[in-house]
Structure 1
Amino acid sequence: MKVFLTGATGFVGKGVLDRLIAEGYDTVCLSRPGRADSKGKLLPEVTGPGSVTEVAGDILDAESLKTAMAGCDAVIHLVGIIREQPGKGITFSRIHVDGTRNVLEAAKLHGVKRFVHMSALGSRENATSQYHLTKYKAEQLVKASGIPYVIFQPSVIFGPGDEFVNMLADLVRMPVTPVLGNGSYLLQPVARKTVADVFVQALNHREATNQTYETGGPAPVSYEQILDTIGEVLGKQKVRKIHIPLAFMKPVINAMEGFSFFPITNTQLTMLLEGNACRDAERLYDTFSTEKIAFRPGISTYLS
C-alpha cells in the first residue's frame, strides 16, 4: 500500500512516518515548495522495509495535490494549526476546512480507498473556539466524501520534542510557576507513540471503518497535576504556583496575542479552561492494539 502523508515534518508526523516505515509502507510525503526549514526533516529515525518519497505541494493548492497524490492508495491527513497568522493567510478556516477539502478532492480523483484524519478532542458543532469549530467542519467534509474513513480526536499529545510538556517544564523550572485561573481544568495527555500506532493500524482495520475515536491517555489529569508531575520528573520537591485571575489575564491576552512570541491566545485560553478529557477513552484501546502510556512514565523517558 502506498500512503500519502500530510504534515510529515511536524511533531506528530515524524512519529507517524517512523511507524509507517517500520511497518513497510511506501510513504509519499507532501512538502511545501521552497520551504527553507524542511531539509532533512523527512529522514525517518527508524529503519524498516518501507520507503519515503518527498513530493512538492501544498494543501491550499488543489492542483498540486492532484499531481502529488497520483498512485496512492490511502491518505493520512495530519496538517493543522493551533495559532492563526491572518497576515500570512494562515487561518483555522483555510487550513482545517479548505485544506481538508482540497486533500479530499484529490483523494476522490485518484480513487483513494482509505482516509485517516486527525481532528481534535472537543471538536463539535456548537464549539466556542474557532479551532474546534473548524475541526468539526473538516470532520463533516471527511464523512460526506464517500471515502472510507477513520477520524481520530486527540487530546494534547506529548513525546520527545513536543512543545506542550517542554514549555510547561520551562515554567516549572522558574521559582514560581504561573497558573491561569484555578488550574482544576482537566486534560487527557496522550503519547505520540499511541497516536502513531492507531493512525497506522487504522489503514487496514476493518472494524474502525467510518468511525470516530476520542484519543487520550489512560486517565484525565488536572492542569495543576500536570505541573506537579513535571516537577517530580525534574526532581523538584515542590512546584510553587501563583494563580493569576482570569479577569486580569484576559485583557493582557487581548493586547498581546497578535505577537508570535506571546505564549497564549484567546482561543487557546478558551480551550484550556473548558478542559480536554475523553468521555470514553477505553473505546480506542478496545479497538486498537497499543500500549496505555500514563503521563508520568511517558514524560520520564525524555524530560530531564
Structure 2
Amino acid sequence: MVRTNQVVVIGASGFVAKNLRKYLSEKNIKLISISRSNFKQFKNETKIVLKKYDEKYILPKIQNSTALFHLVGIGKQSVKINFDMINVQFTDFIINMSKKAKIKKIIYASGLGVNANSSNEYFISKYRAEQLIINSGLDYSIFRPSYIVGKDDLFTKSLKNQIKKGEINIPGSGLYSIQPIYIGDVVKLFFQSITQKEFQNKILDLVGPDLLTFEQYVKLFSKKTTASIKKFSLEEAYHDAITNSKSLFGIDDLNILIGNFKGNHNKLQKLSKIKFHSILELLNSGRLL
C-alpha cells in the first residue's frame, strides 16, 4: 500500500472528478482541486478556481503531492479550441508542472479505442497525450474509458432530456457495442491506482463487465417511460454534427460509437479484485434513471 499525503485533481468540476473528489475526501485524503469552473468543495479539500491555469499560482499549492489526476478533456472541437490544444499541449503543460512540483505520478483518462494505429483526430490526440506521459519519466496509470455512467453523467443527462421531450434518437442501426462502467467502480479503481503498486505504469481499458448494443442500452434505460425511440440515418447524423455545434451527437461521438470498440474487462477485474456493478442490473433496476 502506497501512502498518500496529498492528491491533485485537475479538471475538478467534471462528472468523474466530482465523484472522485467526494470518494477521496471520505477516505480522508487531502485534496488540491483545480478547475476553470466553480464547484462544490468537500472536506479535506483546497479549492482553486482559475479562468486560466497559471503555473506561478498553482505550483506552490501542489508541491510534493503524491499524485495528480489529469481529467481535463473535450468531446468537440470549435474555432476557439481543438483536440491538440487540450489533449496534447495541455498534457505537456501538466507534465512539466508536475515535475517542477516534484509530483511522482500522473493518472490520465484517455479513451477506449486509442492506439498507435488510430486515424481519428480525437484518438490521435489522446494517443499523443499518452505517449507524452509514458515518456515523461513519471510513474503513471492510463485508463481508457468507455462510457462512465451514473446519475448525472453527460450521456445519462442527454437520455433524460430526450425522455422529457418524449423521443430518444439513435443514429444508424444502434447495433454497435458499448461497454459502460459504473462511476462507483471507477472511483474505487482510481483510488487503487494511487495506493497500490500493481497499477504502476499500466494502461488499462476502463470498461464494465457487460457488453451491450447502444439500442439495447437505450431501451433498458427508457423502459419505464413513455418515450418513443427514433432511429435516423448516419448520413443525417453526420450532417447535423458537421453543421450544428449543438447537435445531439458530435462527429467524434459518432466515430466512437461506430468504431464498435471492446475493452478487456477481465484484465481490470484480475488486477483490481473489485466486485463490479452490472450495468444490465443497474438499468433493469432503474437506478440510473
TM-score by length of 2: 0.89
SS in 2 for 1:75: strand
Equivalent position of 2:252 in the other structure? 267
In the superposition, relative to structure 1, how do residues 249 and 53 fare at CA in structure 2: closer, same or farther (>3 Å)? closer
Equivalent position of 2:14 in the other structure? 10
Most deviating of 214-223 and 117-126: 117-126
Equivalent position of 1:43 in the other structure? 41
Equivalent position of 1:47 in the other structure? none
Equivalent position of 1:242 in the other structure? 230
Letter in 1 for 2:272: F
In the superposition, relative to structure 1, how do residues 123 and 58 fare at CA in structure 2: closer, same or farther (>3 Å)? farther
Q: Name the CA distance, whole Å, in 1 between partners of 2:108 and 2:237.
A: 35
Q: Name the CA distance, whole Å, in 2 between partners of 1:3 and 1:142.
A: 18
1:292 maps to which of 276, 281, 286: 276
Most deviating of 140-149 and 124-133: 124-133
Letter in 2 for 1:51: N
Q: Name the CA distance, whole Å, in 2 between partners of 1:56 and 1:250.
A: 36
Equivalent position of 1:163 in the other structure? 154
In the superposition, relative to structure 1, how do residues 207 and 155 fare at CA in structure 2: closer, same or farther (>3 Å)? same
Q: Name the CA distance, whole Å, in 1 between partners of 2:167 and 2:7.
A: 47
In the superposition, relative to structure 1, how do residues 177 and 107 fare at CA in structure 2: closer, same or farther (>3 Å)? closer
Letter in 2 for 1:162: D
Equivalent position of 2:169 in the other structure? 178
Q: Name the CA distance, whole Å, in 1 between partners of 2:100 and 2:118.
A: 32
Contact 1:129/1:271, CA 8 A, preserved across alignment = no
For structure 1, the 5+ residue unaligned runs are 45-49
Determine if the alignment matches structure 1 residue 115 to structure 2 residue 115: no
Equivalent position of 2:242 in the other structure? 254
SS in 2 for 1:136: helix
Count, aligned residues = 284
Displacement of 1:216 = 0.7
Determine if the alignment matches structure 1 residue 55 to structure 2 residue 48: yes
In the superposition, relative to structure 1, how do residues 57 and 172 fare at CA in structure 2: closer, same or farther (>3 Å)? closer
In the superposition, relative to structure 1, how do residues 138 and 275 fare at CA in structure 2: closer, same or farther (>3 Å)? same
Q: Name the CA distance, whole Å, in 1 between partners of 2:189 and 2:197.
A: 13
Equivalent position of 1:74 in the other structure? 67
In the superposition, relative to structure 1, how do residues 157 and 100 fare at CA in structure 2: closer, same or farther (>3 Å)? same
In the superposition, relative to structure 1, how do residues 255 and 235 fare at CA in structure 2: closer, same or farther (>3 Å)? closer
Q: Name the CA distance, whole Å, in 1 between partners of 2:52 and 2:287.
A: 32
Contact 1:179/1:244, CA 8 A, preserved across alignment = yes
Q: Name the CA distance, whole Å, in 2 between partners of 1:296 and 1:199.
A: 23
Displacement of 1:101 = 0.8
Displacement of 1:68 = 3.8
Letter in 2 for 1:208: F
Displacement of 1:63 = 4.1
2:28 maps to which of 16, 24, 27: 24
TM-score by length of 1: 0.85
Contact 1:76/1:117, CA 8 A, preserved across alignment = yes
Q: Name the CA distance, whole Å, in 2 between partners of 1:94 and 1:289.
A: 36
Contact 2:63/2:102, CA 8 A, preserved across alignment = no
| Identical residues among aligned pairs (%) | 24
Determine if the alignment matches structure 1 residue 209 to structure 2 residue 200: yes
Displacement of 1:161 = 1.2
Letter in 2 for 1:290: I
Q: Name the CA distance, whole Å, in 2 between partners of 1:228 and 1:137.
A: 36
In the superposition, relative to structure 1, how do residues 240 and 84 fare at CA in structure 2: closer, same or farther (>3 Å)? same
Letter in 1 for 2:15: F
Determine if the alignment matches structure 1 residue 282 to structure 2 residue 275: no
Most deviating of 173-182 and 144-153: 173-182
C-alpha distance after superposition, 1:265-294 (max 9, x if no partner): 22221111112321x111111111433112
Contact 1:182/1:243, CA 8 A, preserved across alignment = yes
Contact 2:64/2:102, CA 8 A, preserved across alignment = no
Q: Name the CA distance, whole Å, in 1 between partners of 2:257 and 2:66.
A: 37
